[in-house]
Amino acid sequence: MMEQKVTLSFHDLEIGYKDQPLSRPINLSLQEGELVALMGLNGVGKTTLFKTILKEQSALDGEIKFRGSSLELNDLQHSVGIVYTERTHIFGFTVRDMIAMGRMPHTNRFGKLSKRDISIVDSYVRELGLEEIEHKQIDNLSDGQFQKVMIARVLVQETPVILLDEPTAFLDMKNKVMIYKLLKKIAKEQKKTILVSTHQIDFCADYCDKALLFKDKALIEKSAQELSSTDFD
């Protein structure tokens, strides 16, 4: 079996707010090629963990490492990408414009796309089957199509780690399946570490490699199939 490399690791990480710590020290690591579900009831700290990884808020204690070195804010755009639940409305942005935004961390001061940038955008447009809607305005997309576009955007950013904050919250069953299949394929084929916060135990069992469960202020690792609804009591 091929050796897997650790991308993101938490070392005695404590998250939350000064007067309200949300976790005991977390010691876990995520590997490349893994699709990992982040689960737990509302308010237990899933979003706070994301915010802490993205440096939107500082850790109470401990450290987050990326490939063994401390994760710094000015390297974030090259190491961790994110897709949020909410839709972003931008007038006059086509699907292609939105996907190309993912290349911004790689462009010059004026944001001009190089030939390489354009070919990367092209390849992900094809990869995710977005050719037909490439020139459609993003405000005219269905929720499922929009999430797919945002996933294409984060892939184009070429970060080894991708976070998705409840990416299927507003989607119907067909689109949920489509998104999870896509994530699994990307994780395997492109050796990405994908951490998805979700409430969907069934999808977790079907598609994820493992689950991180927030319970009683602890973040514990479980096999995806091991989870049951009693974990959320």
Partner 1 sequence: MTISKKIIGLLILLLGLSFLGIALGSVLVPFEEQFDLIFNLRTSRTVTAIIAGAGISVAGLLMQTLFRNPLAGPSVLGISSGSTLGVALGIFAINLFGISSFDQKMSISILAILGAMAVTFLLLFVSKFLKKSNTLLIVGLMVGYFVSSVVNVFSFYGDKTNLQSFVYWGFGSFSKEINFEVLWYYFTPILVLIFLIFLIQKQLNLLLMGEKYAVSMGLDYKKTRLLIILIVGLLVGIITALCGPIAFLGIATPHLARNFIKKSDHRFVIPFTLLMGACLGLICDIISRLPGLDGSLPLNAVTSFIGAPIVVWIIFKNKMA
Q: Which residues bind partner 1 (CB under 8 A)?
A: 54, 56, 74, 76-78, 80-82, 84, 88, 90-93, 97, 101-102, 104-105, 107, 109-111, 157
- For 113, counting Cβ atoms within 10 Å of its Cβ (0-12 exposed, 13-18 middle, 19+ buried), the class is middle
Distance CA 215, CA 212 (A): 10
**Closer residue to partner 1, CB minimum distance, 194 or 224:** 194
Cα 58 to Cα 15, 17, 35, 182: the distances in Å are 8, 9, 25, 32
Smallest distance from partner 1 to CB 128, Å: 19
Q: Which of 187, 177, 179, 176 is nearest to 209 (CA)?
A: 187
The residue written with tokens 């070429």 in the block is 158
Q: How far is the CB of 6 from partner 1 (least distance, A)?
A: 22
For residue 218, CA distances in Å to 21, 118, 148 come to 11, 44, 32
Q: Which is nearer to partner 1, 66 or 207 (CB)?
A: 66
Q: How many CB atoms lie within 10 A of CB 81?
A: 25
Q: State the nearest-atom distance from the C-beta of 223 to partner 1, in Å.
A: 30
With beta carbons less than 8 A apart as the criterion, state whether 33 and 187 touch: yes
Nearer to partner 1 among residue 4 and residue 107 (C-beta): 107
Closer Cβ to partner 1, 68 or 92, answer by number? 92
CB 106 to partner 1: min, Å: 9
Which residue reads 């797919």 in tokens? Answer: 148
CB 93 → partner 1: shortest distance, Å? 6
Q: What is the largest CA-CA distance in the chain?
A: 53
C-beta of 117 vs 209, nearer to partner 1 = 117
Tokens describing residue 153: 């955007």
Least distance (Å) from partner 1 to the CB of residue 76? 7
**Cβ nearer to partner 1, comparing 20 with 110:** 110
